[in-house]
Each structure stands twice: as C-alpha cells, then as structure tokens.
Amino acid sequence: MSLSAADRKTLADLAARAYTVVEQAITIYAKSAEMPRRFGLGVYDASDGGAGFDPASLESRMIADFRIDPADWADRDYIVTLRRKLNVAIRTGRNSADVARNAPELFIEGDMRAPGGILGEVNGKPIAIGGSGYRGPEDEAFAILLLEAMKRLGGDYVPAPTPPPPNPQP
C-alpha cells in the first residue's frame, strides 16, 4: 500500500530539514576534494516494491528531490540517474550497491549498475533515497547520510540508556 498524502507531507518536511545537514556535508566534501558542488538527492515512496514494480511509477512516488547547483550539471541530469538507481533498489528490495556487488544477475536492461540507491524506513514508513553526482560509493554515502539525518530529526532514534553510576565503596 502506498504512503498516504499526510505521510508524504511529513516525510517531505523531514527530508527538507535533513537536507540542510547533508548539503553542508556535500559542500565541505566538495571543497576539500576540489570537486564541483553539483549533486542530486531524492526521497521516494518505497511501498509496494518487488518484482512487479513498474519503473514508470517512480516519478509519482517522489516525496522530495534536491538539486545542488543544477546550472552546473551541463547535459547531465542527476535526478534521472538517481531514479535509475532507485528502480533497482525498489524492484529488488536491496540497495543498488548490494545488487552490484552480490547479485548482478538481478539487473535488467536500462538499470543503473552503480551504488547510490538505498532503502530504509523513517518512523516505520518505507522510503528509498537516491544520490547522484559523484562516484557511486560517494553517492551512496550521501544518500545514507540523508536517511540517517531524517531518522534522527524525526525522532526515530531512541537514545541508549545511561548506565547507573557505580556504587560508592564504604
């Protein structure tokens, strides 16, 4: 079953808040590596995935897309690329890096054979996050960072209990 409009709105708001953290990380990373600051990130509804997943439905599953410096993308569209990675993840139920490493036979014609499409949950809601703009492992790292920031900001993390202080010796 697809996410409700209210769930999508909540996730979109959360993604926008988390994106500010990720954008800062991308800016710092790009500057230190002397790379362009161009990048695309997308958050999509991952409900009802599996072998019967229709790639044509992906655009309608969009919760939030983020574009960093799209004027510098030239003839590349990183949102299109990350969607190709997400098609793999949603259809196979596995992160695109896992498919590339461990199950390349699951790729079909038109798939993006690279890391950067991940699956996760935020407050029990299934989402897929894609990243594109650098190398696959970097794309995946920024997608994971967005997922983890969404969890943290959305209250999905439960802090570990603080151990009791040691008993004083008499």
Q: Which domains does the chain have, with CATH numbers?
A: 5-153 (3.30.450.150)
Q: What CA–CA distance (Å, rounded) separates 36 from 27?
A: 9
Q: What is the pTM of this model?
A: 0.88
Tens-place pLDDT, residues 55-113:
999 999 999 999 998 888 888 899 999 999 999 999 999 999 999 999 999 999 989 99
Environment class of 8 (CB within 10 Å of its CB; exposed 0-12, middle 13-18, buried 19+): buried
Supply the mean pLDDT for the chain: 92
* pLDDT band of 158, cuts 50, 70, 90: low
Q: What CA–CA distance (Å, rounded) separates 59 from 10?
A: 18
Question: Is pLDDT above 90 for 119?
Answer: yes
